[in-house]
Amino acid sequence: MKNLQGKVAVITGAGSGLGRELAKVCAGRGMKLVLADVDEPGMAQTLAGIRKAVPDVAAVSMRVDVSKLDEVQALATLARESFDGAHVVFNNAGVSAGGPLWEATEADWQWVTGVNVYGVAWGIQSFVPLMLAQGEGHVVNTASAAGWVNAPGGGIYNASKHAVVAISETLAFDLRMAEANVGVTVLCPAFFPTAIVDAERNRPPELADTAPMSEARKFHQEMVRHAVMHGRISAEEIAEMTVSAVEHDQFYVFPHKKIKQLIKARAEAAEREQEPFDTMAGAKA
């Protein structure tokens, strides 16, 4: 979608991190904003920041839990009623829970899968029909490098992000077969500094059941916190790359170039058939 001016951007997870930066970049391109998050004060902060730079931005926001289909459908209704459509939908909300897989609880799986996988599925289900009817659109799914290469301790998160890559590729093929004028982009960053390290802050009470903190889980959390907080590319830069990918109808976005080398090395490990690809050793190489 070459010209985003006047078009409508729907952004989930807009109350923090990458979602906030995506909202800023979209506003800078002259887009109207439909923001969604479970964190209402966070969204208010996002909007206040944007209004300083773009005082006349047209924007609405709604508290939406993306793991709930009816809430994402209500978001689509808001976009239709406020701005008569939705052109670029960023299925971006995401959470993370870590530790050895055998320690993970049912609630850990439900929470992370609910937000990271169902959130993307419901975004597609609620907005793509609208895009097909209006004759144009673009879906951006935030996956991760974890959608390609698997670090230890991130089993649920890795599985959820592999699902996002699979969903995105399949969606692109389905739209091609339907000859639809709807593009797809899948964003696959490695670590970058955001509040994802404190994702538990927005975990719903009904899915709070998690295992007691083991040494292994503590080690994983500290490792991830360090990696996220020392990420060399900012959320702001990644947001700019992502919106530019929409403008150039680019499917994959790998802000961290090293990930493409790791994917090749993983394919070589698959070729050898002997051992699982060791992402950590590959990243150090």
Ligand X SMILES: NC(=O)c1ccc[n+]([C@@H]2O[C@H](COP(=O)([O-])OP(=O)(O)OC[C@H]3O[C@@H](n4cnc5c(N)ncnc54)[C@H](O)[C@@H]3O)[C@@H](O)[C@H]2O)c1
Binding site for ligand X (CB under 6 A): 12-13, 15-19, 37-39, 42, 64-67, 92-95, 115, 142, 144, 189, 191-192, 194-196, 199, 202, 228, 231
Minimum CB distance to ligand X, residue 239 (Å): 10
Q: What is the dihedral of CA 172, 175, 179, 184, to 10 degrees?
A: -50
Closest contact distance (angstroms) between CB of 14 and ligand X is 7
Contact call for residues 164 and 120 (beta carbons, < 8 A): yes
Longest dimension (CA), the chain: 59
Q: What does 157-205 look like in DSSP terms, one character per residue?
A: HHHHHHHHHHHHHHHHHHHHHTT-SEEEEEE-----SSGGGGGGGG--G
- State the Cα–Cα distance between residues 254 and 29, nearest whole angstrom: 22
Q: Which amino acid is at 99?
A: G
Residue 87 structure tokens: 């052109």
Residue 282 phi/psi, 5-degree rounding, is -65, -40
Query: Least distance (Å) from ligand X to the CB of residue 136?
Result: 25
Cβ nearer to ligand X, comparing 130 with 186: 186
CA atoms of 16 and 160, how far apart (whole Å): 20
Question: Contact, 254 vs 241, CB < 8 A?
Answer: no
Which candidate in 118, 122, 127, 157 is catalytic? 157
Indicate the residue among 15 and 99 with the shorter CB distance to ligand X: 15
Asked if residue 97 lies in contact with residue 157, where contact means CB atoms within 8 angstroms, the answer is yes
Question: Is the CB of residue 40 less than 8 Å from the CB of residue 16?
Answer: no
157 counts as catalytic: yes
Q: Closest distance between ligand X and the C-beta of residue 135, in Å?
A: 28
Closest CA to 132 of 167, 182, 171, 73: 182
152, two tokens:
């230890």
In the bound complex, what is the minimum distance in angstroms from residue 228's beta carbon to ligand X?
5
Which residue, 168 or 202, has its beta carbon nearer to ligand X? 202
Q: Which is nearer to ligand X, 106 or 273 (CB)?
A: 106
Looking at beta carbons only, is 19 or 85 nearer to ligand X? 19
Q: Which is nearer to ligand X, 95 or 175 (CB)?
A: 95
We find the least distance from the C-beta atom of residue 28 to ligand X, in angstroms, to be 18
**Cβ–Cβ contacts within 10 Å for residue 102, how many?**
8
The catalytic site residues sit at: 157
